[in-house]
Amino acid sequence: MSYSGRPFFRIPRPLLLEGGVESKTLDGNPSLTDKDSLFQIMDGGLSNRVVFLPALKSGRVYMIKNAGTSNIIELKNPDNSFVGSLDVAESKWFVCDGINWFVL
């Protein structure tokens, strides 16, 4: 799907995303949901972690940062298939087109 071609939507002030940032230390291998914030700052603690992305939905987006100091975070689909990984201090965008999750 592409845009409608209508004029641009203009925001005449700074944008504030209420609840748009979550910072957390992971306990286990969590699953993200549509209720989770756009920006995710994750620390895996002392272990490598797997984070499961939600079911495919066109337009769903997450920016995820590995805030840990020694371990990787792997991102997977709900079916356990690999999407991408984050090394220490690395950030990436994860976007869905309704068919697949992609790493930008």
In the chain, what percentage of residues exceed pLDDT 70?
99
77 in Cβ contact with 53 (< 8 Å)? yes
User: How does residue 3 score in pLDDT terms, banded at 50, 70 and 90?
Assistant: confident
**DSSP string of 43-67?**
E-TTS-EEEEPPSP-TT-EEEEEE-
For 75, other C-beta atoms within 10 Å of its C-beta total 21
60 in Cβ contact with 35 (< 8 Å)? no
Overall pTM surpassing 0.85 (yes/no): yes
Q: What pLDDT score was predicted for residue 1? A: 62
pLDDT, tens digit, 9 for 90 and up, residues 33-70: 989 999 999 999 999 999 999 999 999 999 999 999 99
Question: Strand 101-103 and strand 91-96: pairing?
Answer: antiparallel
36 in Cβ contact with 57 (< 8 Å)? no
